[in-house]
A and B are shown apart, each in its own frame.
Chain A
Amino acid sequence: MTLPVQGSLGTWETRAIVITMMPILIGLSILQMGSGYILETLEETYLGNPTLLVMVPVMIDMGGNLGCIMSSRLSTRLHLGLLTFKLRDENLQTNVGAILALALTIFTGLGIAAWAIGEFVISAPLPLVDLLAISLISGMILAVLAIVISIGATWLSYKWGLDPDDTTIPVVTNVCDILGVIILSIVAIIIL
């Protein structure tokens, strides 16, 4: 690594920023077409029950959010040299417990909110029980996958000697974003 020369724009050059981000943005857009393809395949289910569409942005965001919280906590422990990958590690148990508790709260809230919007705003009602079941089952599966992927990715970056801040967090966030729509769709067709 070279030290930035005083007064030089370095990584603040427009061209440099655009070129660095291009492969990430292009790759991510192509991957996201996978989620889009699933939405399109299940077009009848989604457009027939617009209340399901209400859940889509939250499912896209929340997988990434949970994965991001989990993997940044793990990567900080890794930087401090305190991380172990044993099941009896109390810190690991704490992180896993916290993510599951957060997911339980958020996806209960999502189920209730989606029901209320379907009932009162867009007049496409679905039963509260169905929406809670879809939101909680897909949300908890997503949370468990976010945890497993975060641990796996942190372990790999530890093995390969990569800085998890640069590698794990963006990868985990984007993979979890994509999984959200896929899991929601599978759970929704099973329940409805």
Chain B
Amino acid sequence: MTVRTGIRRIYSESILILFVSLGGGIFAGSVLGTEGMVDAFERIPGLLLLLPAFLATRGNVYGSLGARLASGLHQGLIEAELSWDRRLINAITASFINGIYISVFIGLLSWAISSVLRPEADPSLVTLVGIMLLAGLLTSVVMIIGLVILVFAGYRYGLDPDNLVGPIVTTLGDIFGVVFLFVSIMVVGAIV
């Protein structure tokens, strides 16, 4: 096989998935660029600091749930139906716990770093942790339900779940992560 035909093959295998991920990312970016969001970044010290951590950890938390579901289906440990299965419940509970505590930790970390580096900005612990807790909660519910349904449906349809998980997680994660971040900023902003 020549280098040229090899490049063409890898390119055509990967370009569609990368475009799906590009679409999700651009949607998320458009939300970040809206006036309301830019305004929140200016108003709430520490919010810009936590943004990359918030966006990136979702990939690890729900990517790992997706990979686990895919391996479980391949090994016959779980079945592709929504039932009260011990393994399924455990995996879902674990990723829910992971999604929540890591969001709270990110809020805490960002408050601590901002307090040390920019004490004059007077970052608020309640605001940062509140936003992360709410955004983490909303994101995990939607991500877990969406991931389980899509992976199971794809598997029943005859698709390999290993190939589905990556694009599903990046696309859902980008879209819902930023939308729920925005919602949480508005809600917490109204309360605090």
Chain A contact residues, CB within 8 Å of chain B: 9, 12-14, 17-18, 21-22, 24-26, 28-30, 32-33, 35-37, 39-40, 43, 46-47, 50-51, 53-58, 60-62, 64-65, 68-69, 73, 90-91, 93-95, 97-98, 101-102, 105-106, 109-110, 113-114, 117-118, 121-122, 124, 170, 173-174, 177-178, 181
Contact A94 B59, beta carbon cutoff 8 Å: no
With contact pairs A47-B42, A98-B11 given, residues A17 and B51 touching in the complex (Cβ less than 8 Å)? no
Q: Which secondary structure dominates chain B's binding surface?
A: helix
B33-62 at interface with A (beta carbon < 8 Å): 33-35, 37-38, 41-42, 48-53, 55-57, 59-61
- Is the CB–CB distance between A33 and B22 below 8 Å? no
A17 touches B94 (CB 8 A): yes
Output the nearest chain A residue to B95 by Cβ-Cβ distance. A17
Residues of A near B56 (CB, < 8 A) are: 28, 32, 60, 174, 177-178
Q: Is the CB of A32 within 8 A of B53?
A: yes
A-B pairs with CB below 8 Å: how many? 205
Asked whether, in the complex, the Cβ of A33 is within 8 Å of the Cβ of B38, the reply is no
- Tell whether, in the assembled complex, residue B26 and residue A114 are in contact, meaning their CB atoms are under 8 Å apart: yes
Rounded to whole angstroms, the CA-CA distance of A73 and B11 in the bound complex is 13
Contacts A113-B26, A178-B52 given; does A50 touch B94 at CB 8 Å: no
Contacting residues of chain B (51-103) with chain A, CB-CB under 8 angstroms: 51-53, 55-57, 59-61, 64, 68, 72, 77, 86-87, 90-91, 93-95, 97-98, 102
Closest to A48 in B: B38
Residues in chain B near residue A32, CB distance under 8 A: 52-53, 56-57
Could you say which residues of chain A place their CB within 8 Å of the CB of B137?
none
Q: How close is A87's CB to chain B, nearest CB, in angstroms?
A: 13
Query: Of A14, A24, A55, which one neighbours B97 at CB under 8 angstroms?
Result: A14
Bound CA span A25–B59, Å: 10
From A17, which residue of chain B is reached at the shortest CB distance?
B94
Residues of the B chain whose Cβ atoms lie less than 8 Å from the Cβ of A18? 94, 97-98
| Contact between A37 and B19, CB atoms less than 8 A apart | no
Pick from A14, A57, A69, A118: contact of B25, CB under 8 Å: A57
Question: Is B7 close to A, CB under 8 A?
Answer: yes
A58 touches B22 (CB 8 A): yes
